[in-house]
Amino acid sequence: MSVHELGDPEQRGMTRRTAVRAAAVAAGGALLGGALDLASPRNALADAGPHVYTRSDWGARPPKTAATITSRPDHIVVHHTATANSTNYTKSHAAALSRAIQRYHMDSNGWADIGQHFTISRGGYVMEGRNRTLAAMQQGRHVIGAHTANHNSHTVGIENEGLYGSATPPEKLFASLVETCAWLCSIYNLDPSSAIVGHRDYNVTSCPGDRLYAMLPRLRRDVQTRMRTRRQQEELLSLAELPAGHLPTYPGAPAMERTADYYHGPAIGERDLGR
């Protein structure tokens, strides 16, 4: 039995440290080619993060090719999955959603693996996405995904289950999104006031939906509050230090957009290195 089958995260005696260490040792040493320093400050930060269910927990298929690892990201992109607003809030449903998205990305889109780095279900379960994501984070680095066209090399993609043009995300989902963003900002030394953006800030798309997009200011504030309870922010990445091509261009949402499960706007562009 997996440690992730012992009950809901709030009831589980196992700590975040156990899950991250297991994932990092299994994936980090083999995929990144070196032992991980599990006593480092970065790993102490990881201990304070959300409970993340690994790829093996949700039954991910092997990727066609291993994901490319690069330097740390400078933005976190919030998406919605453009799927139905399910009332099934169980862990098994969250796992099935990740499998369905991976199947669509690999079999329909022809990508090497699932595109996003994390998927958060409407029940608040956080699932690891693209292969090597957690292992790369343990070294303060970044896996190139497929979620925001022409900006995958420097952004972390978080898919939130549902369609949020007019609906409001469940509180459990939003709370997990806050925890996940605070964790990422701590690990990568990002300022949530500028680092957290929506998909439509980079590409012409309605994603992550008008209602969720309108909640991003609250998300940034809540993440800042959550981070202050953990540690003082230091060495924040300034927007002035970023390459001009990494800054959001705010194209706005289109008047009309194709609406189909798993499609939330442009995910791969000419400047992206792979799929």
Sorted by where each begins, the domain ranges of the chain are: 52-246
Question: Is residue 124 scored above 60 in pLDDT?
Answer: yes
Q: What's the pLDDT at 185?
A: 96
Question: Using the 8-state DSSP alphabet, how is residue 118 labeled?
Answer: E
**Least confident piece of the model among 183-187, 209-213, 265-269:** 265-269
Report the alpha-carbon distance of residue 101 to residue 116 in Å, rounded. Answer: 10
Chain mean pLDDT for the chain: 83
Beta-bridged to residue 263, according to DSSP, are 260
User: What is the model's pLDDT at position 12?
Assistant: 36
Per the listing, tokens 């976190």 go with 76
Looking at 45-49, 123-127, 179-183, which range is the least confident one? Answer: 45-49
How much is the average pLDDT of 235-250?
75
Could you tell me whether strands 52-53 and 126-128 are parallel, antiparallel, or unpaired per DSSP bridges? parallel
* Helix (H/G/I), strand (E/B), else coil: 159: strand
Q: What are the tens digits of pLDDT across the range 138-155? A: 999 999 999 999 999 999
Model confidence at 176: pLDDT above 60: yes
Residue 5 — very low, low, confident or very high, per pLDDT cuts 50/70/90?
Answer: very low
pLDDT at position 242 is 78
pLDDT for the residue numbered 262: 66
Other Cβ atoms less than 10 A from the Cβ of 235: the count is: 6
Residues of the chain with pLDDT > 70, as a percent, come to 74
Question: Cβ neighbours of residue 1 under 8 Å, at least 6 residues apart?
Answer: none
**101 Cβ neighbours under 8 A, 6+ residues apart:** 81, 114, 116, 119, 159, 262
Domain 52-246 is found in CATH 3.40.80.10:
yes
Lowest mean pLDDT among 97-106, 172-181, 206-215, 253-262: 253-262
The CA distance from 151 to 202, in Å, is 8
Kindly state the tokens that stand for 248. Answer: 């959001």
Q: Are 81 and 159 in contact (CB under 8 A)?
A: yes
Tokens 């300022």 correspond to what residue?
Answer: 191
Residue 75, H or E segment: strand 75-80
